[in-house]
Structure 1
Amino acid sequence: MNPLYKNDPPGRYPPSWYAATAELAEPRPPLRGEVRADVAVVGAGYTGLSAALTLAGRGYKVVVLEAHRAGFGASGRNGGQVSSGFNKDQRWLAKRLGDDTARHLWDIADAAKALVRDYVEAHAPGARYLPGILHGEWNAAGAAEAQADAEWLRQAYGYETEFLDRDAFAAICPSPVYAGGVLDMDAGHVHPLRLVLGLARAAEAAGAVIHEHTEVTALEGTTAVTDAGRVVADHVILAGNGYLPALERDYAARVMPINSFIAATAPLGARTADVLRRDIAVADSRFVVNYFRLSEEGGLLFGGRESYAIGYPTDILTALRARMERLFPSLAGVEITHHWGGTLGITMTRLPYVRRLAPAVLAAGGFSGHGVALSLMAGRIMAEAIAGQAERFDTLSRLPVPPFPGGAAARAPLLALAMTWFSLRDRLGL
C-alpha cells in the first residue's frame, strides 16, 4: 500500500508537538484541469519547496503538487537536526570517489547548513535555529574512532569540533550509556514544521503555485498527471522522498520508505538537568539511532525506534519509552504529551539519491536521516541544474547509490532481516 495513505488521515498533519506549536495555513485548493508550467514539482516538503523558491525567484513558472499538505511528510515531523556532512564519513567518500570529489561534497554539505540558517532568518524566524549537535558513542572503541575522525576533519579541511571524553560528555548529557563523543557547534537544530511552512509562504510570495490534496499518479514524459488534472511542464522535479517510490521505477529500486518515531514529554522542570544541560541536540552511534533535544517548553523530544513495514506498529509508544528510559532512568514514568511517526527515505549506502532520471526529469531522495540540511540543498541544486548550472548537481549525482537487492519488491523483507541483526548488535553492545 502507498505510504501516502497507510498511516495518516488524508490532508491532516500528525498529532505531533510540532503541529501543536505551529501556525498552520489554510488548505490550498487542489489542482483542477490542465495547467502549463516551466517546472512541475512533486512534493511540498523541504526539497520541493526549496527548488520552487529558487526557480520562482529566477522567473520560472513553477507549480508544486502535494498529495496532502505542505510539510505533511518527513519535513514537518522529523527530529529537527541540522547535521554536518553525510551518513558516511569523509574518509569513506574520499576512498571511493577521490579526494577532490569528497572535498566538493563536504563543501556542498557545509553550504547546506548555511542555507538552513539563511532560510530560517529570511522566511521562518519562528523555527528558532539553535547551534550544536553532540554525537554520542556507546563504547570506548567508538569514542576513539570519533576522535580520530574529528582530528582528520581538522587537519584535512580545517573543520573544528570538540572531542569529549566520558566525563566531559556527561557534564552536558548525563546519560550513563555514553563513553564520549564529539560536539559540533557548526551543526544545529530547528523546529522543522515552522521551517517548511515558512518556505511554502516564501515560495508562493516568489510566484510559485502550490496545490494541496493533489496526488501525482503518473508521469507522462514531463507531464504530471493527477486524478483531476495535469501539469504540462518543460521540467519535472520529483521531491517526495519516502512517500514517492512507487511513482518511478528506478527511484523505487534505490529509495526505500521506513518509519521513525518521536515522543514529546511534558516540561521536565528540575529533571532537565538529568538529560541535557545545554540547549543542543544529541544523536548517537546506535545503528537504530537515538536522537533527542529539548523543546522550547523544556520537555524532551526523543526519537529512536524504526520500523520497516509500510504501516506503523500497533503500539508506537512502549518501545520508544523503553529506549528513552534506558538512556535516562530518572525519566521513568514521565508524562508523554505527544507521540507520532513519519516516513523517510533511505538508500543502501545511506547516501542521498540525486539523479537525472530523464533529460528533463530530476529526482532527489533517500537522505537517510540527514535530510534537514541536505534536502533543502538538493532542492536548490536541482533548481540550479534546470537553470543551466549543473556542477553541484553532477557532484551529488556521483554519490554511490546501488539498487536494493531484488529491487523494490524484495527490499523490505531483506532489509528487515538485516535490521534484526543490527538491532541485536546494538543490544549486545557490539
Structure 2
Amino acid sequence: MLKFTNQTHVPSYYAASANDVRHHAPLAGHVRADVCVVGGGFTGLSTALNLAARGYSVALIEASKLGWGASGRNGGQLIGGYSCDIDTFAQYMPPEDVRRIWDMGLESVDIVRKQIEKHRIDCDLTFGYLSAANKPRHADALQAWRDEAASRFGYRGYRYVEAAQLRDYVDSQRYVGGLYHEDSGHLHPLNYALGLARAASEAGVAIYEDTCALSMRKTAAGHEVQCGNGQVEARYVVLACNAWLGRLAPAVARKIMPVATYVIATEPLGEARSRALMPANAAICDCNHALEYFRLSHDGRLLWGGRASSSTRVPASLGESMRRDMLRTFPQLADVKIDYAWGGLIDATMNRAPHFGRVEPQVYFAQGFSGHGVNITALAGKLIAEAIDAQAARFDLFGKIQHRDFPGGMLLRKPMLALAMTWHAMQDAL
C-alpha cells in the first residue's frame, strides 16, 4: 500500500466547493472492531454505513483524506448499470442470474438516491442523462439497446432522441442522436462522499484519516491491519482501495489497471447561457472509445471530462488542452475562462465488469468499477454488508465472473494500455 499520509485534496472545483471541512484524527494505538474498512472513498464509506446500520462496530482507515481519490475527483455522472455490456455477465451465469445482475444495476442508483435523502446529503443530485451518438453507427447501437432493454428486461426508462430534438438537451452540432435515461443523472461527488462520512460517523463508525494500511496478518480473533502508528484488530476486513490497492493484495491488484482521466471547470456561465447550452441540465457522455463527458454544476459552470491516459502524470498545459477539446463541441464558449483543471485515477478491469470477491473467507474486496464508480460503489457497499451479515447470495453472483490479470506485469501494463488507447483513438477518428 503506497503512503499518502497528510495529503490534502487536489485543487479542483470540488475541493473549492466542499461543504464539510471536518477532520478525523489519525489512528494512534490499538483499536478493536467487528470490521476494519480500508479506504475512505465511496466503496469504503458505503460499506461502513451499511454495516453500522446492521449493528456492526466499524473502524475505517483512510491513507489521506476522505474522498481523496476518484471519489472526490470524478465527473460526477451517476449512470445506472455497468461499464460493460450486459452479455459480459451472460458468459458466466444463466439468464435468471443475468436478470438479477440487471436489476442490481438499476438498484445501485436507487441506493445512492435513498442514502442522499435519508441522510440529507447536500450534493446537488440531479436526474437526467444522455448518451450522445457521434456517428450513425452509434445511433443505431443506442436504439438497439433501448429495444433490447425493453424486450429482454421489460425496462422502458430509455428514450431515443432524434437529431432534430437534440437541441432540447445540448447546443452542439457534433451529435447525430442520443439515448436519454431518466434514471441516471449527476451530483457533486466530493460532497456526496463527505455526506456519507458524516452519516457513518453519526452511526458510530470510527473514522481515521491520514492512516495508511501497511500490511495485514491473521490473528486468533480474525485479522490485524498494521498502520504507521497503530493497529486495527477485526474479525472482518474490507479492502476498498481500488486503484490504490498496492501490496495489500497483489493477486487482486493485478486484475485492475489504474487509468487517469481529467476534468476542467469553466468560470460560471450565468443562468441564461448555461441553460441555453444544456437546456435539460442532463449529464452527457459521447459514444467514442476515448469518450468525453460533461455536465453543468450547481452554480452554472461547465464541467468537461475526458483525455483518458495510461500515465499517472498530469499533462502539461492540461487546462488549455482540454479547453481545445471542449471548444470542438462548444465553439460558442471561446471567450470563457477555465477556473480549474485536475485529474485522478479510476480502476478498470479487462472486461470492464466490476470485480467483487474475497481474498480469504473474512477479507472482502470490491474494485474495477471502470467508470461507473458513483453508482456501483453504493451497490458494493450494500452487498458486502449483506455478505458479512450471512446473506452472501447477491455478492457471490459477482464472484462467478472470471477476471484476468492484465498481461505483462507492472513493467509492460502501461505501454500496452497506451497502445490500446491509440488504437481506439484511431477507430474513433475513422
Give the alignment's TM-score, normalised by structure 2. 0.94
CA distance in 1, matches of 2:360, 2:29: 25
2:303 is aligned with 1:301: yes
SS class of match (1:287): coil
Conserved? CA contact 2:92–2:401, under 8 Å: no
Name stretches of at least 5 consecutive residues in structure 1 with no aligned partner.
Answer: none
SS class of match (2:122): helix
Shift of 1:24: 2.8
Name stretches of at least 5 consecutive residues in structure 2 with no aligned partner.
Answer: none
* 4+ residue segments displaced more than 6 Å: none
Conserved? CA contact 1:175–1:274, under 8 Å: no
Query: Aligned residues, how many?
Result: 424
Deviations 1:1-23 (A, max 9, x none): 94x65xxx943112111122222
**Alignment match, 1:209:** 206
SS class of match (2:108): helix
Query: Could you tell which deviates more after superposition, 263-272 or 389-398?
Result: 263-272
One-letter amino acid of the structure 2 residue matched with residue 276 of structure 1: M
**Alignment match, 2:392:** 390
Conserved? CA contact 2:266–2:336, under 8 Å: yes
CA distance in 1, matches of 2:351, 2:263: 24
2:280 is aligned with 1:284: no
**Alignment match, 2:228:** 227
1:9-408 equivalence runs, <5 A: 10-160=6-156, 161-221=158-218, 222-269=223-270, 270-273=272-275, 275-408=277-410
Query: Could you tell which deviates more after superposition, 264-273 or 146-155?
Result: 264-273
SS class of match (1:97): coil
Deviations 1:383-403 (A, max 9, x none): 111111101111122233211
Deviations 1:145-184 (A, max 9, x none): 1101111101121212101122222332122111111000
Conserved? CA contact 2:88–2:351, under 8 Å: no
Conserved? CA contact 1:13–1:72, under 8 Å: yes
SS class of match (2:264): strand
One-letter amino acid of the structure 1 residue matched with residue 257 of structure 2: M
One-letter amino acid of the structure 1 residue matched with residue 250 of structure 2: R
Shift of 1:247: 2.4
SS class of match (1:75): helix
CA distance in 2, matches of 1:357, 1:25: 34
Shift of 1:95: 4.9
CA distance in 2, matches of 1:274, 1:176: 14
CA distance in 2, matches of 1:397, 1:418: 27
One-letter amino acid of the structure 2 residue matched with residue 70 of structure 1: L
Shift of 1:45: 0.9
CA distance in 2, matches of 1:165, 1:333: 30
CA distance in 1, matches of 2:411, 2:132: 35
SS class of match (1:125): coil
Shift of 1:274: 5.3
One-letter amino acid of the structure 2 residue matched with residue 200 of structure 1: A
1:407–1:359 distance in 2 versus 1, CA, 3 Å:
farther
Shift of 1:235: 0.7
Deviations 1:315-344 (A, max 9, x none): 322321121111111112411111111111
